[in-house]
Amino acid sequence: MAGIMQKTQFLSSLTKEQKEAIGLLSVGTFLEYFDLMLYVHMAVLLNELFFPASDPHTASLITALAFCSTFVFRPIGALVFGYIGDNIGRRTTVIITTFMMACSCLIMANLPTYEQIGITAAWLVTLCRIVQGMSSMGEITGAELYLTESIKPPIQYPVVSLVAAFATVGTMVALGIATLVTSQGFNWRLAFWFGTCIALVGTIARTALRETPEFTNAKTQLVTVFEDTGINGSNYEKNYVIKNDIKTSISYFAIQCAWPACFYVAYVHCGNILMDSFGYTAGEVIHNNFIVSIAQFISCLVLTYLSSRIHPLKINKVRILIFIVFTIICPFLLNNITSTLQMFLLQSFIVTFAPDNSPAVPVFYKHFTVLKRFTNVCFIYALSRALMYVVVSFGLIYLIKYFGNIGLLAIMLPITISYLIGLRHFEILEYKAGNYSCKKPRFYLLMSKNAVEYVNFHSKN
């Protein structure tokens, strides 16, 4: 759309309340992801404290288990917080999830090690990771939904993209703290105490948020309809079934599956190569990943800026086409890396061009029904993360063992191609809604199963 491409005076177009919401949600997302990713990136150090000593192969399985524990129970959290978000409100959800994160950080900050209480330490730290993973589910989805439903396009695109940028900042600061802990000998418990404090501050600050107008209006209108038709409005959620297009849900699932695999390859798999092939210590891997996260943050800022001028789906389409080419040659590059600088450049390329849902989050969300939106997008997000992190973290152990780096293609190629197919579905939806222009409409005619419907729509317009 021409309006999307025009330069907009962003700050002047936002109300004071919208600016406050952006600030609270962005800072809250930063705090939440700092707490969530602190253990993920310090796992090479903390797993030695909370899990029994073992041989390298078993240690790899333990690392994968500790990593996956954060994500495998996310679908349950998605259903719980999705229900709260769709029936009570978006505001309530982000407050509850931030408080849960604070509690889990507090426990981890004071948790005895394996040497002190044995296997109980492993179980407790895993339980805390599960709670953190479940609470993070309602956090970022709630923040993105809140801004999507509170602000209209085109400013909506860069504003919602800021949430992803601040999540990256949270990851980056977590890595920075982890670097200080490993390089300067700081007590790692101080990092979790810090995480506890900032999560509590975030919980209190978010009580100032108001419910989103789109959700409030939709709920009010539905209750009014039921009252007019004689249905009990107070039980509207039991009497009214809202369905989403199954193709839209599958397409969004395909899109969400891409980033987890790319994240694991960039930070974990490449980190293992640095340790095995270049003699890096755990602390050096953490420091290297901190520098990579800076590159990721810069790319998030660039995408946020571009989304104010270019339709987000076009941005993501260019990224996925570049990344598919890179995926094919990635095993060759990994086999021929001779310096740590080359590894850093490869990691930076992955986190820069890896396909994810940003900056097109609002585009995807608005194609789900408002009163079931939180549950649907939250569950799809959680299920994709749980599935992909399990498949990638455990699958790569054996794929790399038997096939070397060429084994990466068994995971990376299917997810990138699926992402492209899912993205194409949303391009068609946006085109039909009049929000997306395409210079080559025959592309859609050939690739879409809805070719006849497309032709009819195109002829009428």
pLDDT at residue 69 tops 70: no
Distances from the Cα of 289 to the Cα of 177, 179, 267, 284, 391, angstroms: 12, 9, 6, 9, 22
Q: In this predicted model, what pLDDT tens digit does every residue of 388-426 receive, in sequence order?
A: 888 888 888 889 888 988 999 999 999 999 999 999 999
Whether the upstream peptide bond of residue 359 has omega within 30° of 0, thus cis, is: yes
Q: Residue 300 above 70 pLDDT?
A: yes
- 8 within some domain: no
Q: How do residues 185-235 score in pLDDT, each as one tens digit? A: 677 787 788 778 877 777 776 676 676 666 566 556 554 544 544 444 444
Residue 419 lies in a domain: yes
Domain-located, residue 9? no
Query: pLDDT higher for 210 or 101?
Result: 101
More confident residue, 1 or 55: 55
Higher pLDDT, residue 127 or 44: 127
| DSSP state at residue 438 | -
Q: Give the mean model confidence (pLDDT) for residues 110-119.
A: 84
Q: Which two tokens stand for residue 209?
A: 């948020």
Amino acid at 107: I
Q: What is the pLDDT of residues 326-341, one digit of tens each?
A: 999 999 999 999 999 9
Give which of 252, 246, 245 is closest to 361, Cα–Cα: 252
Determine the pLDDT at residue 363: 93
The closest alpha carbon to 86, from 382, 429, 381, 379, belongs to: 379
* Cα angle value 180/186/189 (rounded, 5°): 105
Render pLDDT for 126-185 as a digit per residue (tens, 0 to 9): 888 788 777 776 677 778 888 888 888 888 899 888 888 888 888 888 888 777 776 776
Residue 232 lies in a domain: no
Written as six digits, the tokens of 250 are: 């599958």
Q: 410: domain CATH number?
A: 1.20.1250.20
Assigned domain for 117 exists: yes
pLDDT at 2: 39
Total domain count, the chain:
1
> For the CA atoms of the chain, what is the radius of gyration?
22
- Contact (Cβ atoms closer than 8 angstroms) between residue 146 and residue 209: yes
Q: Which of 100-109, 115-124, 241-250, 336-345 has the highest mean pLDDT?
A: 336-345
Quick check: 450 pLDDT over 50?
Answer: no
Report if residue 220 sits inside a domain: no
The token pair that represents 320 in the structure block: 């996925």
At 381 the pLDDT is 86
Report the pLDDT value the prediction gives residue 1, as an integer from 0 to 100. Answer: 40
- Output the pTM of the full model: 0.76
Residue 37 pLDDT more than 80?
no
Q: Give the mean model confidence (pLDDT) for residues 423-448.
A: 70
Q: Taking Cα atoms as reference points, which of 103, 93, 80 lies closest to residue 206?
A: 93
Over residues 444-449, the mean pLDDT reads: 43
Question: What's the whole-number average pLDDT of the chain?
Answer: 78
Q: What mean pLDDT comes out for the span 259-265?
A: 91
* Structure-token match 């956090």, residue found: 139
The closest alpha carbon to 135, from 89, 93, 79, 97, belongs to 97
Residue 229 resides in a domain: no
The CA–CA distances, whole Å, from 298 to 162, 171, 271, 301, 384 equal: 12, 13, 21, 5, 25
Asked if residue 89 belongs to a domain, the reply is yes
Q: Could you tell me the residue range of the domain that residue 363 belongs to? A: 17-213+252-460
| Tokens matching residue 443 | 């592309």
Percent of the chain at pLDDT > 70 equals 77
pLDDT at 286: 83
Q: How confident is the model at residue 439 (pLDDT cuts 50, 70, 90)?
A: low
Two tokens, residue 184: 């300067």
Is the per-residue pLDDT at 49 higher than 80?
no
